[in-house]
Structure 1
Amino acid sequence: MASISIIGTGNMGTAIAGIVAKGGASVQAVARDSAKAAALAEQVGGTAAAFGEALAGEIVVLAIPYPAVADVIETYAEQLQGKIVIDVTNPVDFDTFDALTVPADSSAAAEFQRAVPDAKVVKAFNTNFAATLGSREVGGVPTTVIVASDDDQAKAQLTGIISAGGVSVADAGSLKRARELEALGFLQLVLAVREEVPWTGGFAIRS
Structure 2
Amino acid sequence: MATITIFGQGNMGQAIAGVFQAGGHSVDFAGKEGPRGELGQVVVLAVPYGAVAGIVTANKEALKGKIIVDISNPVNFETMDELLVPAGTSAAEELAKLLPEARIVKAFNTNFAATLASQKVAEEVPAVVELASDDEEAKGHLAAYIQAGGLQTVDAGALKRARELEAMGFLQITLAMREEISWTAGFALMK
Shared topology, TM-score over 0.5?
A: yes
- Contact 1:52–1:76 (Cα < 8 Å) also in 2: no
**2:5 is the alignment partner of 1:5:** yes
- Contact 2:12–2:46 (Cα < 8 Å) also in 1: yes
SS in 1 for 2:88: coil
Deviation for aligned residue 1:29: 1.0
Map 1:1-207 onto structure 2 (within 5 A): 1-32=1-32, 51=34, 53-139=36-122, 140-207=124-191
Matched AA of 1:192: A
Matched AA of 1:137: K
Tell me how far apart the structure 1 counterparts of residues 40 and 147 of structure 2 sit (CA, whole Å): 19
Aligned residues: 190
SS in 1 for 2:187: coil
Deviation for aligned residue 1:52: 5.6
Deviation for aligned residue 1:51: 2.7
Q: Deviations for 1:60-98, whole angstroms, at most 9, x for unmatched residues?
A: 000000000011111011111111000000000000110
Tell me how far apart the structure 1 counterparts of residues 84 and 39 of structure 2 sit (CA, whole Å): 31
Deviation for aligned residue 1:54: 4.0
Q: Deviations for 1:144-185, whole angstroms, at most 9, x for unmatched residues?
A: 000000001100100101001000001101001000000000
Q: Deviations for 1:19-51, whole angstroms, at most 9, x for unmatched residues?
A: 00111211111124xxxxxxxxxxxxxxxxx53
Tell me how far apart the structure 2 counterparts of residues 191 and 124 of structure 1 sit (CA, whole Å): 20
SS in 2 for 1:204: coil
- CA spacing shift, 1:76–1:23, aligned 2, 3 Å: same
Structure 2: stretches of 5+ with no match in the other structure: none
SS in 2 for 1:172: strand
Tell me how far apart the structure 1 counterparts of residues 7 and 180 of structure 2 sit (CA, whole Å): 30
- Contact 2:17–2:27 (Cα < 8 Å) also in 1: yes
Structure 1: stretches of 5+ with no match in the other structure: 33-49
Tell me how far apart the structure 1 counterparts of residues 116 and 92 of structure 2 sit (CA, whole Å): 21
